[in-house]
Amino acid sequence: MSSVSIIYRKDKLNKKGEAPIHFRIIKDRKISYISTGFMVHQDYWDFEKNKIKSKHPNSKRIKSVIDSKFSEVQDQVFDFDNKNKSVTSRKIRNHVYGNKPTLFFPFADNLTKESYKNGGKIGTYDKNCSILEKLREYTTGRNITFHDIDVDFLAKYETHLRGKEYNNKTNTVGKDFRYIRRIFNEAIKQEIIDYNENPFNKYTIKTEKTERVYLTDEEIDSIENCKTTPGTRMELHKDMFIFACYVGGIRISDLLLMRWHQFDGTHISFTTMKTTSQISIKVPTKGLEILAKYKTDDVQNNDFIFPMLDNNLNIENNEMLDNAISSATAYINKNLGLIKDKLKMSKHISFHISRHSWATRALRKGMRIEYVSKILTHSDLKTTQIYAKIVNSELDKAMDVFG
């Protein structure tokens, strides 16, 4: 059973000789406190009778309020005990004093920062900050509370995100809303709000299936054979893309950070930036030809294989590293877009397409799906099976020739 008592917090005595009066709750030898809202000078507190002295100018009013609240706290603790529920000072405080609205953004900002400090990825941190910034712009900087974000608010905000300013697609809106939902779930976990105050209990986050864009052998050949000026960034970006199409669909972040000491002449070994998986890939002939172009006499063992980033880049500085990779990726994708326009290709081309292209081609050529999954460093085979479905769909279309 729990016990409740009135405590004069002499341990919190201030320089004026005043200390707060709290309700102390003890359950299972654990102590929690609820403030009464009153500060009283120690000369006005009767420590033997544990009550305010009558000589205090407002003793009657203070005693009346404390006694009334004390009874409410006792009743609520008794109610929690009878229902075998865990009692916390926050729950009791909310029952007795009312649940004060909590500002959304200070809580969300702190959660975002703490998640990053506790081992989160800088890229994820940046994306989550961007999600909150969009929401801030929509609320025009107002200090909204959790209670302000209801079902009607979410519906209007979704319409805003789909509008002209952002033109966000269904899955982008879904990504934003899933993070906002995570913030609500954490607020519930910390007892900032109640479960029934979560608008996502009644609001469905929409998703839609997306088609994985990939290139055929012929389309990859056309990009490889597209004429570019030797020694230019355009040629470098094209070579990096073709390399990834042949060498395991390596992510752009990993490719940018690869150094010559990671290549032993046949295999390239590295730890992936996204999943921290260690992998060693045998480089096929096409990949070896591309590497030979960049293995010049003045190249040092610790230099980046593809000279996009500064060899002296401080990769221990997460923010600096993320900015460098993001900038390089945008530059590469811009040039890939120019190559695509030059070839009059209808498909949207970005560096990540090389990953999809390698996976579908590997499966078409008979590589076992678990090997494909291992090289792609997928944590779940279900992710790789998306590519298997693409290949199976191609086979179904091929059989249509028989009518």
> pLDDT tens digits, residue range 51-106?
999 999 999 999 999 999 899 888 877 877 776 566 565 666 666 555 566 899 99
The fraction of the chain above a pLDDT of 90, given in percent, is 61
Tell me the residue type at 255. Answer: L
374 burial (CB, 10 Å; 0-12 / 13-18 / 19+) is: middle
Helices (H), 26-169: 59-82, 89-97, 104-117, 122-138, 151-162
Give the separation between CA 219 and CA 225, rounded to whole angstroms: 10
Give the separation between CA 240 and CA 306, rounded to whole angstroms: 7
Q: What angle do CA 126, 132, 133 make, to 5 degrees?
A: 85
From first CA to last CA, the distance across the chain in angstroms is 77
Tell me the residue type at 192. Answer: I
DSSP 7: E
pTM confidence score: 0.65
Q: What is the pLDDT of residue 212?
A: 81
Does 388 score more than 60 pLDDT? yes
Q: What angle do CA 47, 50, 54 make, to 5 degrees?
A: 90
Q: Give the least confident one: 77-81, 185-189, 345-349.
A: 77-81
Beta bridge partners of 30: 27
Q: What is the CATH number of domain 217-402?
A: 1.10.443.10
Domain boundaries, the chain: 3-97, 104-201, 217-402
Q: What angle do CA 19, 23, 27 make, to 5 degrees?
A: 135
Q: What is the mean pLDDT of the chain?
A: 89
Strands 45-46 and 30-41: unpaired
- Residues 6, 66: contact at Cβ < 8 Å? yes
Does 403 score more than 60 pLDDT? no
pLDDT digits (tens, 9 = 90+) for 190-222: 777 878 889 999 999 999 887 788 999 999 999
Give the separation between CA 113 and CA 110, rounded to whole angstroms: 5
- Residues 239, 245: contact at Cβ < 8 Å? no
Q: What is the pLDDT of residue 402?
A: 55
Q: What is the largest CA-CA distance in the chain?
A: 103
DSSP 102: P
The helix or strand, by DSSP H or E, that contains position 46, with its residue range, turns out to be strand 45-46
How confident is the model over 218-238, as a mean pLDDT?
A: 96
Does 399 score more than 60 pLDDT? no
For domain 104-201, the CATH architecture is Orthogonal Bundle (1.10)
